């Protein structure tokens, strides 16, 4: 049960004064549906109305709060706006209104009266004017106008003053709560109590008060990070207490596959495999992340782990996020598995009828030991005889819920998640605090470096000429079309148009691939590119992960400035897989913003995915790096993984210490930490405490 002091915070926003059903819908869109959501909606800027000069000294372009005598009204005529002429003894100014009604203006600004007026001062010819003042009040209310106003992220139709009043009421409603921070740590940081931090963060006195490192904001960020890390550690403790099953293979199948490989594993691959096999040999369930840069050889490490499970009498499944990627894994793994005398089954949403039923029957009775598929693997009708290992590829495309669903398909299933998206250390702590991490940090021998060049879009004809020369030399070319305002429809139009133009230049040698194509169409386009006469594959970002065509040596990315660093790196990883030198051409449209210029510079400087991931986090902030919505990543409201990296580590260490010393959260601080978990809606962790 949620603690009673928190009840007022989890009431709907309609319980706040001035927020009826219509405004509630707008407040929900910008912050959330409950009072607590407004507490986390911190100011993103300020308007300082304390500047109150005489008209003779006023600075043009600045927001000023003026004490004015209302001298005369000049109603609108034709296209001329409504003007109110004012003065203060040192000069004069006109208040300007478009589409104003005379009766309303005369009521608000009676001739001969004095008014406090606040807004931006402009010049019009030689005269001063203030278009549409933000605030107007009688002289006795000067103190309420001459303030610093917080500015919040907004949505159309919601008056800023309404949101400010609602947030102020929410802060007023926040109760004093028992302190959950370690007293010595809190004192060392110089942090206020929770309620005082909340009030200070919502009442900035200047630009400096918006910095994420300010004591009030840092305290609130740490609270959120601590709640997240504590929940992850409680989950981890519970998983460790759920007994697993030791799975130790004799190495016979692994040896057959290793002998069939045309290369030997790198030291990095060997180390990661040893860590995975050691995990599976223990009586606790494995939950491990295998990180490796594009082309570092994660798939073979995953296959060897799957074979170890088969050697010990179990079954293993590999799940990929798309049909295309799953089929690529099948194409890569099936020949290697055959060298060990094993067949690899396949399941996707596209499989129907007798073939699917036969695969299901062979999984259920254990005749099929290895299977590759999409999310179809965790549908209800899929039963395994003895699933021992679930390998989940490109983990950030799946939520935690899907990961758990597949793990429930067997008894004490070990889980290995893999990703070719290098994840910055701080985000690893955020998203995968419950997971052990293995990292392949060297590329297999033979992977050639890729030359990356940055070219302005007006040189498109030169690029097309380069593509013609590459095709004549027998190379294949990816041509990636831009993300335009995140619109799938516009992406598709751009890709279709570019494909048509290239088809005119290279008749019969161009194919188009995008996310809306039916599976068989897409497979045909890919097959034509990989093994047929297609020389140029025009694509949206559907080729970002996993597509493997060694003959492809050129990658053209249009509007490269619109892509994130990690995405550019993933796309570039599609080339440089064969014997020939490869080139990635980043086409951009000037002028470039500072962030876009930095991205393109980093792409030119390095191919190290881990450095690129850290830079991506620095440039974009944590939420965007992996695409929070799809990833099961916590969506932080107060913490910024880039700005608060040191607090992230401190929260992780504190959470581990808490769970070691007080795993049931029974001490005085433990009880306060339960309140913290409820406050940040990590309620599920409380169930782990209760159930042990």
Please write the tens of the pLDDT for every residue from 555-574.
999 989 888 887 888 889 88
pLDDT (mean) for 165-185? 96
Q: Is residue 182 part of a domain?
A: no
Same domain, 393 and 537: no
Q: Is residue 688 part of a domain?
A: no
Q: How far apart are the first and last CA of the chain?
A: 17
Q: Is residue 348 part of a domain?
A: yes
Q: How far are the Cα atoms of 294, 539, 648 from residue 437, in angstroms, in the given order?
A: 17, 33, 17
Same domain, 402 and 515: no
Same domain, 337 and 430: yes
Q: Is residue 193 part of a domain?
A: no
Q: Is residue 468 part of a domain?
A: yes
Asked whether the beta carbons of 257 and 332 are under 8 A apart, the reply is no
Same domain, 29 and 116: no
Q: How is residue 486 written in tokens?
A: 């995140």
Please write the tens of the pLDDT for every residue from 98-128.
989 999 999 999 999 999 999 999 999 899 9
> What is the total count of domains within the chain?
4
Number of other residues whose CB lies within 10 A of the CB of residue 291: 25
pLDDT (mean) for 436-442? 85
Same domain, 431 and 491: no
Could you give the percent of the chain with pLDDT greater than 70?
Answer: 89
Q: How is residue 298 written in tokens?
A: 């994660």
Plot region of 94 (φ>0 → left; ψ -120 to 50 → alpha; else → beta): beta
The CATH code of the domain that includes 333 is 3.40.50.300
pLDDT (mean) for 416-428? 74
Sign of CA dihedral 173, 179, 185, 186: positive
Same domain, 273 and 325: yes
CA distance 583 to 512: 21
Q: How is residue 336 written in tokens?
A: 């290697």
Same domain, 455 and 397: no
Q: Is residue 282 part of a domain?
A: yes
Same domain, 131 and 157: no
Decide: helix, strand or coil at residue 62. Answer: coil
Q: Is the model more confident about 549 or about 399? A: 549
Q: Is residue 208 part of a domain?
A: no
Q: Is the model more confident about 219 or about 376? A: 219
**Confidence bin at 531 (pLDDT 50/70/90):** confident
Predicted local distance difference test score (pLDDT) of residue 235 = 76
Please write the tens of the pLDDT for every residue from 67-76.
999 999 999 9
Could you give the percent of the chain with pLDDT greater than 90?
Answer: 59
Predicted local distance difference test score (pLDDT) of residue 635 = 65
Structural domain ending residue among the three candidates 150, 166, 189: 150
Q: Is residue 472 part of a domain?
A: yes
Domain that holds residue 11: 4-44+152-175
Plot region of 27 (φ>0 → left; ψ -120 to 50 → alpha; else → beta): alpha
pLDDT (mean) for 19-30? 93
Please write the tens of the pLDDT for every residue from 271-306.
999 999 999 999 888 888 898 877 788 999 999 999
Find residue 291's DSSP bridge partners.
419, 439
Structural domain ending residue among the three candidates 586, 606, 626: 606
Same domain, 33 and 57: no
- pTM of the full structure: 0.65
Structural domain ending residue among the three candidates 562, 588, 606: 606
Same domain, 513 and 421: no
Same domain, 279 and 333: yes
Same domain, 401 and 461: no
Nearest alpha-carbon partner for 684 in 480, 400, 378 = 400
């Amino acid at each position: 049960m949620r603690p009673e002091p928190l009840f007022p915070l989890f009431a709907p926003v309609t319980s706040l004064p001035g927020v009826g059903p219509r405004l509630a819908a707008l407040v929900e869109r910008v912050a959330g549906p409950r009072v607590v959501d407004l507490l986390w909606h911190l100011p993103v800027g300020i308007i300082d109305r304390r500047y109150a000069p005489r008209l003779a000294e006023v600075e043009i372009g600045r927001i000023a709060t003026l004490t004015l005598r209302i001298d005369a009204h000049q109603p609108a005529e034709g296209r001329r706006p409504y003007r109110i002429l004012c003065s203060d003894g040192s000069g004069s100014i006109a208040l300007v209104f478009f589409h104003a009604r005379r009766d309303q203006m005369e009521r608000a600004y009676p001739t001969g009266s004095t008014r406090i007026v606040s807004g931006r001062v402009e010049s019009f010819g030689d005269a001063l004017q203030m278009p549409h003042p933000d605030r107007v009040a009688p002289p006795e209310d000067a103190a309420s106008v001459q303030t610093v106003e917080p500015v919040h992220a907004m949505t159309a139709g919601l008056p800023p003053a309404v949101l400010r009043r609602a947030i102020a009421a929410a802060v007023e409603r926040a109760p004093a709560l028992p302190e959950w921070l370690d007293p010595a740590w809190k004192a060392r940081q110089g942090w206020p109590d929770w309620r005082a931090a909340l009030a200070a963060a919502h009442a900035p006195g200047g630009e400096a008060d918006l910095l994420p490192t300010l004591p009030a904001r840092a305290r609130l960020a740490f609270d959120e990070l601590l709640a997240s890390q504590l929940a992850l550690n409680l989950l981890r403790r519970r998983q460790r207490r759920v007994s697993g099953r030791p799975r130790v293979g004799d190495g016979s199948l692994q040896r057959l596959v290793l002998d069939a490989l045309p290369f030997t594993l790198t030291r990095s691959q060997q180390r990661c495999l040893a860590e995975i096999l050691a995990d599976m040999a223990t009586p606790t369930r494995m939950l491990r992340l295998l990180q490796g840069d594009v082309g570092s050889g994660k798939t073979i490490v995953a296959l060897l782990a799957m074979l170890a499970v088969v050697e010990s009498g179990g079954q293993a499944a590999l799940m990929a996020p798309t049909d295309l990627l799953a089929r690529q894994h099948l194409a890569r793994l099936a020949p290697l598995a055959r060298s060990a005398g094993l067949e690899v089954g396949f399941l996707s949403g596209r499989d129907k009828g007798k073939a699917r039923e036969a695969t299901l029957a062979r999984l259920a009775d254990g005749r099929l030991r290895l299977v590759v598929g999409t999310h179809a693997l965790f549908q209800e009708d899929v039963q395994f005889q003895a699933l021992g290992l679930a390998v989940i590829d490109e983990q950030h495309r799946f939520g935690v819920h899907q990961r758990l669903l597949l793990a429930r398909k067997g008894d004490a299933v070990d889980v290995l998640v893999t990703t070719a998206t290098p994840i910055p250390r701080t985000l690893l702590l955020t998203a995968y605090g419950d997971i052990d991490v293995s990292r392949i940090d060297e590329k297999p021998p033979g992977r050639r470096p890729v030359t990356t060049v940055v070219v302005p879009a007006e040189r498109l004809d030169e690029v097309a000429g380069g593509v013609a020369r590459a095709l004549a030399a027998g190379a294949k070319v990816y041509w990636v079309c831009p993300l335009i305002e995140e619109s799938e429809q516009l992406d598709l139009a751009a890709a279709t148009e570019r494909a048509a133009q290239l088809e005119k230049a290279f008749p019969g040698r161009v194919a188009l691939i995008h996310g809306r194509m039916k599976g068989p169409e897409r497979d045909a386009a890919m097959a034509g590119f990989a093994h047929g006469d297609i020389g140029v594959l025009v694509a949206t970002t559907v080729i970002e992960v996993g597509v493997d065509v060694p003959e492809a040596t050129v990658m053209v990315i249009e509007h490269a400035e619109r892509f994130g660093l990690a995405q550019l790196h993933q796309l570039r990883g599609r080339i440089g897989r064969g014997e020939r030198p490869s080139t990635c051409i980043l086409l951009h449209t000037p002028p470039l913003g500072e962030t876009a210029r930095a991205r393109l510079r980093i792409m030119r400087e390095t191919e190290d995915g881990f450095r690129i991931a850290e830079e991506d986090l620095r440039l974009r902030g944590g939420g965007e790096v992996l695409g929070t919505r799809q990833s099961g990543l916590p969506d932080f409201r107060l913490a910024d993984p880039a700005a608060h990296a040191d607090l992230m580590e401190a929260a992780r260490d504190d959470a581990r210490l808490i769970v070691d010393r007080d795993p049931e959260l029974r001490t005085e601080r433990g009880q306060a930490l339960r309140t913290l978990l409820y406050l940040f809606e990590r309620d599920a962790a409380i169930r782990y405490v209760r159930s042990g």
